Amino acid sequence: MTSHTYSTRADSAEDDHEAAPRVEVNRDTRRSLPPDPKPIMECDGVDVYYGDFRAVTDVSLGFGHNEITALIGPSGCGKSTLLRSLNRMNDLIVSARVEGSVTFHGQSIYGKDVDPIEVRRRIGMVFQKPNPFPKSIYDNVAYGPRVTGMKVSSMDDLVEEALTKSALWDEVKDKLKDSGLGLSGGQQQRLCIARTIAIRPEVILMDEPCSALDPIATSRIEDLMIELRDEYSIIIVTHNMQQAARVADRTAFFTALAAEGSGDRTGLLVEYDLTTKIFSAPADERTENYISGRFG
């Protein structure tokens, strides 16, 4: 059971854009979600440390199959830290250490015989700042399949498919040999998404993917996320409440609190629920304050 029943996308995509300024949950509220997702990924009692500093404390939550999960919260509460620990990008920071369990299809991704390369291949990531390689558009997309040794019958088809899925094909089909750095910021970010989906991951992590983009580019990426949800599970960090409300099926609210004992602030999961619930009737006062803009 990987796909749920939801109303047709086509009509909902239309009535979405007028509603920009208010935090309003639309389209996704119409999805009838089971209250407890069968998670594709799960965190259980996850602590993340940088050296002695505990940036994230005791986070437990599951990320649903073919759902978009938003991680929101004030700056410094450890959203990026948590996200990066979901595909072992934190391995690249020498001081970073993850405790607790992070599972993907029930297998621990920090297990002894787990290859972090394979983890990252199955759990892709799109970064805050678009980071195309200084290569052609084509080579940017073909990079992942090439380095991972993916068996593809036709690389051209794969590139076209990835660019089409990321809604970039029409804009770049005549200049595939041009440098990816020559594209606009929004196009670059869609190129990065295309690059990620070219290796057919199951989960896509996105860390504030629209924060460097203008509203139009942002709304294109949001539409794209909704479309990609059919095939991928998406976990997105965002500072934009409207964005979380517009695209996410579930939302997790984090905050940073002084941990007992030390004076250091550490990131905690305050509330995790259906986006509808979080934005209409949050259970925790802190969530409500944050969402209504009174704090954070």
Partner 1 sequence: MASLGAIATAPLKAKREGDKSAKSIVFMGVLWFTIFFSVLCLGTLLVNAFFDGWTRLDGNLITRYSSTVLPETAGARAAILGSALVIVMTAVLAIPLGVAAGVYLEEFADPRRWYNKIIEVNLTNLAAVPAIVYGMLTAGVALSIGLPRRVVLAGAIALALLILPVIIITTREAMRAVPREIREGSLALGATPLQTVWRQTLPSAVPGIATGSIIALSRALGEAAPLLLLGGLVFVSYDPNGLFSGYTVLPIQIYDWVKEPQLAFQQVASAAIILMLGLLLLMNAVAIVIRNRYQKRW
Please say which residue, 58 or 231, places its beta carbon nearer to partner 1: 231
**Contact code string over 232-271 relative to ligand ATP, x by CB under 6 A:** -----------------------------------x----
Please say which residue, 54 or 121, places its beta carbon nearer to ligand ATP: 54
The verdict on 238 binding Mg ion (CB under 5 A) reads no
Residues between 80 and 99 that touch Mg ion (CB under 5 A): 80
Please say which residue, 65 or 195, places its beta carbon nearer to partner 1: 195
The binding site for partner 1 (CB under 8 A) comprises: 87, 89, 92, 94, 117-118, 120-121, 124-125, 127, 129, 131-134, 143-144, 147-148, 192, 195-196, 199
Among 3, 26, 38, 93, binds ligand ATP (CB under 6 A): 93
Residue corresponding to tokens 């996200």: 83
Q: How many CB atoms lie within 10 A of CB 15?
A: 10
The verdict on 50 binding ligand ATP (CB under 6 A) reads yes
Residue 217 interacts with which of Mg ion, ligand ATP, partner 1, none, CB < 5 to 8 Å by class: none
CA distance 89 to 67: 22
Least distance in angstroms from the C-beta of 14 to ligand ATP: 31
Residues 6 or more apart whose Cβ sits within 8 Å of residue 253: 72, 73, 269, 270, 271, 272, 278, 282, 284, 286, 287, 290, 291
Least distance in angstroms from the C-beta of 49 to Mg ion: 17
Please say which residue, 80 or 242, places its beta carbon nearer to Mg ion: 80
Q: Please give the angle made by the CA atoms of 217, 186 and 224, to the nearest 5 degrees.
A: 60
Residues between 51 and 90 that touch ligand ATP (CB under 6 A): 53, 55, 75-81
Q: How many CB atoms lie within 10 A of CB 36?
A: 8
Please say which residue, 2 or 95, places its beta carbon nearer to ligand ATP: 95
Least distance in angstroms from the C-beta of 275 to Mg ion: 20
Least distance in angstroms from the C-beta of 242 to partner 1: 26
Please say which residue, 162 or 269, places its beta carbon nearer to ligand ATP: 269
Residue 87 interacts with which of Mg ion, partner 1, ligand ATP, none, CB < 5 to 8 Å by class: partner 1
Least distance in angstroms from the C-beta of 198 to ligand ATP: 26
- Enumerate binding residues for ligand ATP (CB under 6 A): 50, 53, 55, 75-81, 93, 95, 267
Q: Which residues bind Mg ion (CB under 5 A)?
A: 80
